């Protein structure tokens, strides 16, 4: 396989002295050692009070000692369903658990991290609670209820699509307010719509769809929450003071035909080559985080991309460029873009649209893009020998998990790449969103597919915990920042 690199997009120049980051893997824990059937490694949270890591993964939560990685125990969720997420504040863990029938309401379990015992009764929330987080003051838990329908059997009627929503739980009283993403919200029309009405008329073959909350970021002051609607390519803004959604922000399209945005679009040509192509990409971020710079809120987004999941894989939302009959064949068979997975909603022969930005972005609170990494994540993976050419046709390295860390006056962003041949996490200095700098990439042997990332500080040192979904292992890295001064 030959390798070629296109021009590399680099963020704005900075007058500050260059930084270097040093990383060291402290330990690695394979969760198969816990001998819990079905236990995986997906989302990791830090219990500062007890200095432990809680790793959620379907069957339950493995509890690990932060300093050694030693397994301490497991919190099972078997009676309730499958755990999707865990968050911890001041010794209290919240677990998001989906029902076995994912069209039914899920629950949030509260656990005392000291005793690993449940505190109070399960709290009922929306269907398929996928992610949750505590408000900065710890008084509220916000839950992203994805509301994905059960799998559709090919040729059968559309399954029930439960509404996507956000549940607000009062930690003290356990009172719950569940807010749907209403079509009456300002900006709702900017989202991807199902059934589609473009490209020559309506699409009666498509099942109805409503936006599915994926991830929640809360601004440092605790005033606003930003709810990622990944498949719909948007973000809903929630006012936490009034407990009402304000508006929806459509995230638009990225142009892969611009310099520095080129992609490798073909997985079967034997060549890894980043080149400009006449295709646009839906940003569709997975993880989102918020931070402040000079009193303003900025959102960091890992632009993974994702087609709507109806479980049937029947081409409702996605299709290869040259697949299908002539009415939906967007490019000729055998062409450069013939293998590229495209949106079956937005695409036409004159307007090719793929999933994901293959990048991470920084936006201001109104949704305006301040920075985008272009094709740098793909290029860095290629230069380190961990690019998976088999994913070229479908979202490239797939930026997914993300964490922010404040170190010595700098804000670092860690971007996990789900689809590389080894676990890869890019590190950027995003202190000034207008002067972003790439620092390094962590590549860890034995790990594949970083899913959940958590930054933490313990005993005077900074660490990054990474839960790797494909290898079902959690690794802990120590992070040190150095500033290099040039002497003349």
268-284: per-residue pLDDT in tens? Answer: 999 999 999 999 999 99
Residue 69 near residue 27 (C-beta atoms within 8 A): yes
Q: Is residue 488 part of a domain?
A: no
Which long-range CB contacts under 8 A does 156-159 form with residues at least 24 apart?
A: 158/207, 158/208, 158/310, 159/103, 159/207, 159/310, 159/311
Q: What is the DSSP letter of 348?
A: B
Read off the pLDDT band of 241 (50, 70, 90). very high
Mean pLDDT of the 385-404 span? 97
Cα–Cα distances (Å) from 415 to 146, 182, 373, in that order, read: 22, 31, 11
What percentage of residues in the chain have a pLDDT greater than 70? 89
Number of domains in the chain: 1
**Are 289 and 305 within 8 A, CB to CB?**
no
In a domain, 36, yes or no: yes
CATH number of residue 223's parent domain:
2.130.10.10
Q: What is the mean pLDDT of residues 306-314?
A: 63
Which residues form the domain of 165?
A: 2-483
Distance CA 279, CA 327 (A): 19
In a 3-state reduction of DSSP, which class is residue 36? coil
- Say if CB 434 and CB 451 are below 8 A apart: no
Q: How far apart are CA 319 and CA 322, in angstroms?
A: 8
Give the pLDDT band of residue 344 (cuts 50, 70, 90): confident
Band the pLDDT of 155: cuts 50, 70, 90: low
Residue 221 confidence (pLDDT): 95
**How far is the C-alpha of 430 from the C-alpha of 116, rounded, in Å?**
37
> Would you say residue 473 lies in a domain?
yes
The residues pairing with 109 across neighbouring beta strands, listed in sequence order, are: 95
Question: Would you say residue 439 lies in a domain?
Answer: yes
Read off the pLDDT of residues 131-148 as tens digits, 9 standing for 90 and up. Answer: 999 999 999 999 999 998
Q: How many CA atoms lie within 13 A of 153 on its CB side?
A: 2
Maximum alpha-carbon separation in the chain: 73
3-state class of 460 per DSSP?
coil
> What is residue 478's predicted lDDT score, i.e. its pLDDT?
98
């Amino acid at each position: 396989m030959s390798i070629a690199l296109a021009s590399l997009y680099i963020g704005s120049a900075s007058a500050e002295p260059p930084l270097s980051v040093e990383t060291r893997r402290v330990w690695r824990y394979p969760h198969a050692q816990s001998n819990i059937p079905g236990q995986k490694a997906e989302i990791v949270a830090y219990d500062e009070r007890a200095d432990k890591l809680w790793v959620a993964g379907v069957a339950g939560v493995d509890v690990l000692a932060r300093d050694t990685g030693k397994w301490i125990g497991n919190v099972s969720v078997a009676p309730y369903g499958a755990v999707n997420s865990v968050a911890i504040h001041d010794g209290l863990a919240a677990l998001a658990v989906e029902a076995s029938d994912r069209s039914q309401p899920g629950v949030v379990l509260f656990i005392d991290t000291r005793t690993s015992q449940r505190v109070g009764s399960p709290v009922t929330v929306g269907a398929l609670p996928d992610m949750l987080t505590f408000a900065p003051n710890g008084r509220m838990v916000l839950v992203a209820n994805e509301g994905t329908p059960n799998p559709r059997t090919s040729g059968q009627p559309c399954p029930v699509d439960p509404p996507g929503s956000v549940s607000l739980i009062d930690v003290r009283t356990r009172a719950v307010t569940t807010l749907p993403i209403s079509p009456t919200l300002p900006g709702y029309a900017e989202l991807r719509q199902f059934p589609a009405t473009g490209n020559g008329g309506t699409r009666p073959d498509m099942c109805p769809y409503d936006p599915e909350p994926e991830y929640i970021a809360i601004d440092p002051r605790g005033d606003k929450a930003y709810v990622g609607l990944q498949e719909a390519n948007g973000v809903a803004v929630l006012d936490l003071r009034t407990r009402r959604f304000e508006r929806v922000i459509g995230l638009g399209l990225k142009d892969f035909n611009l310099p520095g945005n080129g992609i490798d679009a073909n997985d079967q040509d034997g060549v890894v080559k980043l080149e400009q192509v006449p295709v646009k990409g839906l940003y569709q971020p997975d993880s989102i985080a918020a931070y402040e710079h000079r009193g303003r809120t900025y959102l960091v987004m890992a632009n993974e991309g994702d087609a709507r999941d109806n479980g049937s894989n029947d081409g409702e939302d996605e299709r290869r460029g040259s697949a299908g009959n002539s009415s939906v064949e967007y490019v000729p068979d055998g062409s450069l873009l013939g293998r590229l997975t495209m949106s079956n909603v937005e695409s036409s022969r004159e307007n090719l649209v793929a999933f994901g930005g293959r990048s991470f972005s920084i936006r201001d609170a109104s949704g305006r893009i301040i920075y985008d990494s272009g094709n740098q994540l793909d290029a860095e993976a290629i230069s380190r020998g961990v690019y998976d050419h088999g994913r070229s046709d479908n979202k490239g390295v797939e930026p997914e998990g993300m964490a922010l860390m404040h170190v010595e006056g700098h804000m670092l962003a860690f971007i996990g790449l789900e689809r590389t041949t080894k676990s890869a996490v890019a590190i950027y200095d995003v202190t000034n969103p207008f002067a972003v700098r790439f620092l390094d990439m962590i590549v860890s042997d034995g790990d594949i597919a970083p899913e959940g990332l958590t930054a933490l500080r313990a005993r005077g040192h900074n660490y990054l915990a990474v839960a790797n979904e494909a290898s079902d292992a959690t690794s802990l890295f120590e992070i040190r920042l150095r500033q290099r001064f040039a002497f003349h």
